[in-house]
């Protein structure tokens, strides 16, 4: 991605903006070309099909997201800090990269069956990242014994749903930190438990 020419970058950026706002079949190559400020044929210098372009865009978004997330998480010293970093970074991302978030939260189904595996790759990475945090927490005793392989879905599902809520403006009046804290409390203490005091966090 970093070796990409400036023009290729422009095309991907434009495509992300368009694909994130409209369903795949409503997006015309010409729309993307226009927004990128290049000719329609130029796109085909860099991508051999609309499908491939979509995949590239989805993967670019996915990689950007995962890179930022992984970086933030890895800065945490323990599972708890990592979990907090996960939620905070995740919520930051949707603000900085609304288009990418909209794309990643949107169509799950690939535009062509052949791309299914490629489009599931990002999901796998995220499950690994979150699963890793869970397992680390269990190992260190920060978290109780739990079934990481199931729990991980609850956590990643929450992430996606938070993006959707933000993008639909349903959390527009809320502070990001406050939202992250609320979610963190939920997953740490549960619905029934007392809110942990500041010292425990």
Partner DNA sequence: TATGAATGAGATTTCATTCAT
Partner DNA sequence: GATGAATGAAATCTCATTCAT
With binding defined as CB under 8 A, does residue 146 bind a copy of itself?
yes
Nearest to a copy of itself of 40, 174 (CB atom): 174
Minimum separation from the CB atom of position 184 to a copy of itself (A)? 10
Q: Does 172 bind a copy of itself (CB under 8 A)?
A: no
The site map against a copy of itself for 4-23 (x = CB under 8 A) is ------------------xx
Task: Show Cβ contacts of residue 155 under 8 Å, excluding neighbours closer than 6 positions.
Answer: 86, 130, 134, 187
Nearest residue (CB) to a copy of itself, 6 versus 200 = 200
Residue 33 CB, shortest distance to DNA, in Å, is: 7
Pick between residue 43 and residue 155 the one whose CB is nearest to DNA. Answer: 43
Closest distance of CB 39 from DNA, Å: 3
Nearest residue to 95 via CA among 120, 68, 117: 68
Chain centroid to CA 21: 16
Stretch that binds a copy of itself, among 1-9, 41-49, 60-68, 144-152 (CB under 8 A): 144-152
Q: Which is nearer to a copy of itself, 6 or 173 (CB)?
A: 173
**Of residues 14 and 119, the one with the C-beta less far from DNA:** 14
- Interacting stretch for a copy of itself, rule CB under 8 A, among 3-11, 28-36, 70-78, 180-188? 180-188
- Please check whether residue 140 is in contact with residue 79, taking contact to mean a CB–CB distance below 8 angstroms: yes
Using CB under 8 A as the binding rule, the residues of this chain from 31 to 90 that contact a copy of itself are: 83
39 binds, among a copy of itself, DNA, none (CB under 5 to 8 A by kind): DNA
């Amino acid at each position: 991605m970093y070796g990409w020419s400036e023009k290729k970058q422009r095309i991907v950026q434009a495509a992300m903006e368009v694909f994130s706002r409209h369903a795949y079949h409503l997006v015309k190559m010409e729309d993307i070309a226009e927004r990128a400020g290049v000719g329609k044929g130029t796109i085909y210098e860099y991508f051999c099909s609309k499908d491939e372009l979509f995949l590239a865009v989805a993967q670019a978004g996915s990689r950007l997201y995962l890179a930022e997330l992984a970086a933030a998480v890895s800065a945490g010293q323990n599972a708890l800090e990592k979990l907090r970093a996960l939620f905070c970074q995740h919520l930051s991302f949707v603000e900085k990269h609304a288009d990418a978030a909209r794309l990643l939260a949107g169509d799950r189904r690939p535009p062509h069956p052949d791309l299914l595996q490629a489009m599931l790759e990002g999901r796998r990475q995220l499950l690994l990242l979150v699963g890793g945090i869970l397992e680390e927490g269990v190992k260190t005793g920060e978290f109780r014994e739990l079934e990481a392989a199931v729990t991980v879905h609850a956590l990643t599902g929450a992430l996606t749903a938070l993006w959707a809520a933000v993008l639909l403006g349903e959390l527009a009046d809320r502070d990001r930190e406050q939202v992250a804290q609320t979610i963190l409390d939920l997953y740490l203490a549960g619905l029934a438990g007392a809110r942990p005091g500041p010292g425990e966090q």
